[in-house]
Amino acid sequence: MNPWWVLGEKFADSDKDLAKLNSGVFRFQRRSIDFKPGGIYIIKGPRRVGKTLLLKMLILNLLKKGADRLSIFYYSLDSIKSAKELSNMLYDFFDNLGLGTRYIMLDEVQNVEGWENVIQALANEGMLKNTVTVVTGSLAHVLRQELMPGRGTEGNTYIMRTLTFGDFCSNLISVFAKINYGSNKFDIKEEIGHLQGFLKPETRWPIAALGDDIDTYADGLMHALGKRISLEESTDEIYASVNALVPYAVVLKKLFSVYMRTGGYPISINSYFQELPGKPAFSIAQQVYEELYLYAKNDASTMAGTGRAGDPSFAEGVLQGALSGIGKSISYTKLSRQASMNTKTFIEYSRRLRESYVFLTLNGLDKKLEPLRLQKSYFCDLMLHYSVGSYRTGEEPNRYAESILNSDSVGIAIEEIVASHLSQAKEDDPMRRYDTYLYFLKGEKELDFIYRRDDGSYLGIEIKYQNSVSEKNDLYRIKGIDHYLIVSKDTLERGEHSITVPAYLLLAALGKSSKDL
């Protein structure tokens, strides 16, 4: 797994992960991390968002900068099952390492129970003082920074998820603005920034999907997208920021229609734009849906860190049962019966799906803003929704997606996208998880989301993805919430107690946590 020890930079010519990158239409920008020797960095997030690719690009750029090829160690823990085996491997590496700063990169560490004890033992012996240690994984509870208190993980935990709509726009618009993000120079502070830019500038046919006016507005829109909205701001400030994007509304609406089809997975976005034999233009290859479904099912049916396997049929039951409950108050008893499972087992498998970033689950509040024993769940990305729905119905995945987006169910899809974006708005797990600031209201009427600001005030958020929206008819107000945001299809207006903004303008400008790559 370390071919650069022999080949140096030329390892990239035959690396399967970099080959996929080079065969794609786009490379995607991620935030950079300031890696420092002695630090232990944890990067967690769902499968297929680019964590492995991030490590491979880091390795390539280190080599280009002149790092000793024998000081870089990478290993995917898919093939290691014991902490003892991992420990032996790492000690052997340190016995044979090269010169200068050392780099340890461990991929998918959730596969090895006790991996953190191995890293902590190395740290205790002082072996990591001149080492940048990076671990990645797809199960949140296995990568908790408190597993290694005082060992340099504090403040060094990051989340890498599917692209938000704002990041999606910035990446695609940068193509047409002809912004050159690539560079042969390497700065370790910017290594993640190299995962960006347009790979094939001669490829013009994506413009056919988005319209020629993309070229016209690209430069101005890139500048406008540079200022992101924080929900900590007043509604007046939010409205002003959204209003600044109105000149680009036509472009953003087109981009949003694409995003609603592709979700935020780089693999699905590239597939949508890729021209391949036998694949209809502007569609996503069926194997992409299949792959995402299988990853979700396997994560749910694997009891990570226990050495015991779960039941794949139970995982399927929970995934498919979730479709009928998207955005609704969950009755675990009802859903477990539909899946022919006992309630305790259903809840356990649901928890695993939350831990692997397949589901996100919100807690309910009553009209007095007191906690309720109610929850509602969403898929973390629309592509997961489409993949599970297609599998359950047997319908061709692209047709299934279109049926959702061209029916009354589109409102649920929008609610799902908004939930995903809100969950990233200021999460800096573990100290501030999304379920500590994001809720929903359940009472005589429902309020889709309640966002708790840092000053203790609340922002009520309601999804009304319809042609006509008014504060009088579409807003349910309660005591204790003074400010409201209505997410509409096209309506932009300021009301007495609320602001109404189109989804494609709000989500294009909505910021996210500094810990979210």
Residue 515 lies in a domain: no
Residues 424 and 305 in one domain: yes
Nearest to 284 by CA among 354, 383, 359: 383
Report pLDDT digits (tens) over 38-72.
999 999 988 889 899 999 999 999 999 999 999 99
* Helix (H) / strand (E) containing 462: strand 458-464
Residues 6+ apart with CB under 8 A from 323: 385, 388, 389, 392
Predicted pLDDT at 206: 53
Residue with tokens 């823990």: 77
- Buried b / exposed e across 380-394, counting CB within 10 Å, b at 16+? bbbbbbbbbbbbbee
Predicted pLDDT at 356: 84
Q: How far apart are CA 104 and CA 132, in angstroms?
A: 6
* Helix (H) / strand (E) containing 131: strand 131-137
On whether the CB atoms of residues 459 and 231 are closer than 8 A, the answer is yes
Residues 131 and 45 in one domain: yes
Predicted pLDDT at 273: 84
Predicted pLDDT at 212: 58
Structural domain that includes position 370: 286-509
Residue 304 lies in a domain: yes
* Helix (H) / strand (E) containing 264: none
- Give the whole-number percent of the chain exceeding pLDDT 70: 86
The mean-pLDDT minimum among 45-59, 173-187, 394-408 falls in 173-187
Which of these three, 252, 273, 294, is where a domain ends?
Answer: 273
Residues 310 and 414 in one domain: yes
Residues 105 and 248 in one domain: no
Report pLDDT digits (tens) over 138-178.
876 666 655 556 556 667 889 999 999 999 998 887 765 54
Residue 517 lies in a domain: no
Residues 247 and 365 in one domain: no
Number of domains within the chain: 3
Residues 302 and 426 in one domain: yes
Q: How far apart are CA 295 and CA 138, in angstroms?
A: 10
Predicted pLDDT at 197: 38
Confidence of residue 439 (pLDDT cuts 50, 70, 90): very high
Q: How far apart are CA 497 and CA 369, in angstroms?
A: 19
Residues 47 and 16 in one domain: yes
Report pLDDT digits (tens) over 463-505.
999 989 988 888 889 999 999 999 999 999 999 999 999 999 9
Residue 62 lies in a domain: yes
Residues 42 and 175 in one domain: no
